[in-house]
Amino acid sequence: MLRRITLLLVLLVVQNSIAQQIITPEKKQKLDEYLAYISKENQGIGEISITENGKEIYGKSFGYENLEEKVENPESLRYQMGSISKSFTAVLLAMLEEEGKLSYDEKLENYFPKIKNSEKITIRQMMNHTSGLNNFAMQYGDSTWLMKKEKKKNILKRIQGEEILFEPREGFEYSNSAYYLLAKIVEKKYKKSYHKVLNEKILKPLKLKETQSYVFHKKTKMDHVAQGYILNDGKWEVVEDFYFPNIVGVGDIVSTTEELNEFFRALFQGELIKKESLDKMLAEGKAPFGLGLMQVFYEKVVSHGHGGDTIGTHSVAVYHPEEDLGLSVVLNGYEYARNPLLIGILDIIFNDKLVLPDFSKFKIEDLTPYLGKYKSEDLPFKVEIYEKDGEIMAQAEGQGAFPITPKNETKFEFIPAGVEMVFDLEKKTFVLHQGGGKFTFQKEE
């Protein structure tokens, strides 16, 4: 949840003709085989749910047999859903707008006048990440302060002190700061705590008994919530996660994969807001975000949903309204990341194709021909390929560097983000593949 949107974050969506490719017994068997392989190779721990017409047609937990300490009833675990919480917050704002209690075009200064640029920033821009507001919760190294209880006034003070990234509508940057403020606006408007509003407006009407805000997790019974794990020397170790009351409405909600599917289906079926209100939330054109809903792509078809990351969990939920099909996957431990894992699942569901990943390693002795700066006509930034401590690294302008692992002499990958880079040394190019997208980069002379 708390990672800034970069080149490395691309979510997936289901493809067309689903009605002709329902989950057959044969496909269930392939899904079982695929997830058993992921488990056998010690590449992931988590859960999947696929629903059609409001009913779960496939649900499975996987990887728990690799934990040293036995987890009882992993199939009934609840998971931290990270930024999928933002979709719940956005629906509450849509309800306020529908009730005439809030306008998407009103200014942030009506609620938080001390925030920089608040006289220019609108609610709409905050919801679709075009406000220019910063990110109070950064990546792992800079977010340790959120692992302990922090006073609300200190969080707000931190947001007030952040630099503006750009003028409203002049850029796009995923902003957790914006959604922290939006959750506070929900509380101000309804004059109740976020968790009470969430229960009254969404959870109780939909009978989502396993879904809850973690805001009072020290006072409220929050049993059977999955822990997050990290693989260390072949063993899964528990990782410390955020103190979730610090990120209410931003990434604090726990749920199950099946109830996530129920939530998104209810949203698109008109059980929470009117169709006109939902239409306002959807992204326009090729914009990545609407109002709390991400427009996500797989091949040529567009669907809607959201992804989420905490330190310990990595989730995605997507819904295809035309075919009334939902897919939710959450990983509370991974070596093989969410995006490539999803691609394997989608290959089975929609193409009836089982592809088992190759986890073997390949080493290239001379990295020199690959090194240099590359530019693309498709994307507005350059990527530098360089060597560090015998490892080949990639870094897009303004973003963090990441290692790319060679699978052969032309193909490199970064598994945690589902990135694949295919080099052509003669043409001095590489093609970036990620989440169904394909982008060509040319080496600069």
At residue 56, the 3 state secondary structure works out as strand
pLDDT at 57 (0 to 100): 95
pLDDT at 120 (0 to 100): 97
**Contact indicator for 318, 49 with CB cutoff of 8 Å:** no
For the domain bounded by 368-443, which CATH number is listed?
2.40.128.50
As a whole number of Å, the end-to-end CA separation of the chain is 38
pLDDT at 5 (0 to 100): 36
> What is the Cα–Cα distance from 413 to 398, expressed in whole angstroms?
20
- Diameter over CA atoms, the chain: 65
Query: What residues does each domain of the chain span?
Result: 1-356, 368-443
pLDDT digits (tens, 9 = 90+) for 93-109: 999 999 999 999 999 99
**The listed CATH number (3.40.710.10, 3.90.1150.10, 3.40.50.300, 1.10.10.350) that belongs to domain 1-356:** 3.40.710.10
The CA-atom distances, in angstroms, between 166 and each of 96, 129, 348 are 28, 11, 42
* Weakly modelled stretches of the chain, pLDDT under 50: 1-19, 139-141, 216-220
pLDDT digits (tens, 9 = 90+) for 1-23: 444 333 333 333 333 444 455 68
pLDDT at 11 (0 to 100): 39
Residues 6+ apart with CB under 8 A from 93: 102, 123, 127, 182, 185, 186, 291, 292
Q: Which residues pair with 437 in a beta bridge?
A: 434
Give 94's Cβ-side CA count (13 Å radius): 28
pLDDT at 17 (0 to 100): 41
**Contact indicator for 115, 108 with CB cutoff of 8 Å:** yes
Q: Where are any strands of DSSP class E within 218-309?
A: 229-232, 235-238, 253-255, 294-298, 301-309
pLDDT at 140 (0 to 100): 37
Residue type, 244: F
pLDDT at 362 (0 to 100): 81
Burial 227-242 (b: 16+ CB within 10 A, else e): bbbebeeeebeebebb
**Element holding 188 (H helix, E strand):** helix 176-190
At residue 162, the 3 state secondary structure works out as coil
Q: Which of 250, 287, 236, 272 is nearest to 89 (CA)?
A: 250
pLDDT at 99 (0 to 100): 97
